[in-house]
Structure 1
Amino acid sequence: MVSHLIGEFDCKLDAKGRLMVPSGLKKQLPLAETEGLVVHRGFEKHLTIYTKAEWDKITRQLALLNSFEKKTREFIRYFTRGATVLTLDASGRVLLPKSLLEYAGINTEVVLSCQFDKIEVWDKATYDTTLDDEPLNFANLAEEVMGNKGGKVDGE
């Protein structure tokens, strides 16, 4: 059974752009200290962090795409743009690249939002504003996205 990352963590960056990985999250990332993490631009104005193993799975999928197609090349370029290996220092901090922080509009206060196999890194104000736009009827959205999928989840 696959274990997914869980939690939402409010954090602050230090003056150098370093993020202290919260202990509750660090426990879920046992190989982060030895293998590292990878951060890149998210699809919206946020950053996404993967374990190195998960990033390798994604890049293997990308390598199977037809690079003779223009849309494929563009997607790969934008998806991997700014991708950076993060190494935890002795204090459990990672240095987020300035160019990625600027892209996501991240200043000091951030939210780490775990999404299954990845961690989204949001500017706190942007994250709060985004989630304030919750649909009036969340149940309808749930039905539209998850309804009529038929069958059970793997492992059930």
Structure 2
Amino acid sequence: MAHFLGECECKLDTKGRMVLPASLKKQMPEVEREGLVINRGLESHLVIYPRKEWDRIMDELSKLNTFEKKTREFVRKFMRGATELSLDSANRVLIPKALLEYANIDAEVVLASQFNKIELWAKDVYDAQWDDEGDDFAALAEEVMGNLKRRGDE
């Protein structure tokens, strides 16, 4: 699967519907046929997966040892709130109210591409992450990426 590219600002209507931006829809032509899955993220945001990617994750989770308590707990927490999304005739998806409340989303949102998924953030929460970015990004890049060996360097 190709990785998504882009960041989009959107607005929800009063019913919690959001138009899927054309720039993202174009990157997943199968969305009308296969649909999407939305779920809680690991921070205070939501995550939208193309159905094939969600099915791949479910395959991985099904291989975990559910006789282990931590595994069962993780699976329960990860699956909590997972909901199928379908595009309506106006290219909108309805975001479940419980998920909107979890992520403190009101009306303005940011869709941020993350490889094979799309993060959905309340705009103010997303913007606040970048307020004190400064040199921290350079230090983070060095810490995370600095020790990677390039192919052929060995």
TM-score range, shorter chain: over 0.9
The CA distance in 2 between the partners of 1:138 and 1:42, in whole Å, is: 22
Going from structure 1 to structure 2, the CA distance change for 1:135 and 1:79 (only over 3 Å counts) comes to farther
Instruction: Determine helix, strand or coil for the equivalent of 1:29.
Output: coil
Residue 8 of structure 1 is matched in structure 2 by 7
The CA distance in 2 between the partners of 1:131 and 1:113, in whole Å, is: 13
The CA distance in 2 between the partners of 1:22 and 1:96, in whole Å, is: 15
Residue 17 of structure 1 is matched in structure 2 by 16
The CA distance in 2 between the partners of 1:29 and 1:110, in whole Å, is: 20
The CA distance in 1 between the partners of 2:82 and 2:134, in whole Å, is: 32
The CA distance in 2 between the partners of 1:133 and 1:81, in whole Å, is: 32
| 1:151 Cα deviation after fit | 2.4
Residue 93 of structure 1 is matched in structure 2 by 92
| 1:134 Cα deviation after fit | 2.2
Give the CA RMSD over aligned residues. 1.0
User: What does residue range 20-35 of structure 1 map to in structure 2 within 5 Å?
Assistant: 20-35=19-34
The CA distance in 2 between the partners of 1:138 and 1:128, in whole Å, is: 15
Residue 140 of structure 1 is matched in structure 2 by 139
**Sequence identity (%):** 59
For structure 1, the 5+ residue unaligned runs are none
Aligned residue identity for 1:55: W
How many residue pairs match? The answer is 151
The CA distance in 2 between the partners of 1:105 and 1:68, in whole Å, is: 34
Check whether the contact 1:135–1:141 (CA below 8 A) recurs between aligned residues.
Answer: no
Residue 108 of structure 1 is matched in structure 2 by 107
1:73 partnered with 2:72: yes
| 1:137 Cα deviation after fit | 3.5
Runs in 1 of length 4+ with deviation above 4 angstroms?
none
The CA distance in 2 between the partners of 1:59 and 1:142, in whole Å, is: 30
| 1:133 Cα deviation after fit | 3.6
Aligned residue identity for 2:27: Q
Aligned residue identity for 1:29: M
Q: Return the TM-score normalized by structure 1.
A: 0.93
Instruction: Determine helix, strand or coil for the equivalent of 1:121.
Output: strand
The CA distance in 1 between the partners of 2:132 and 2:54, in whole Å, is: 30
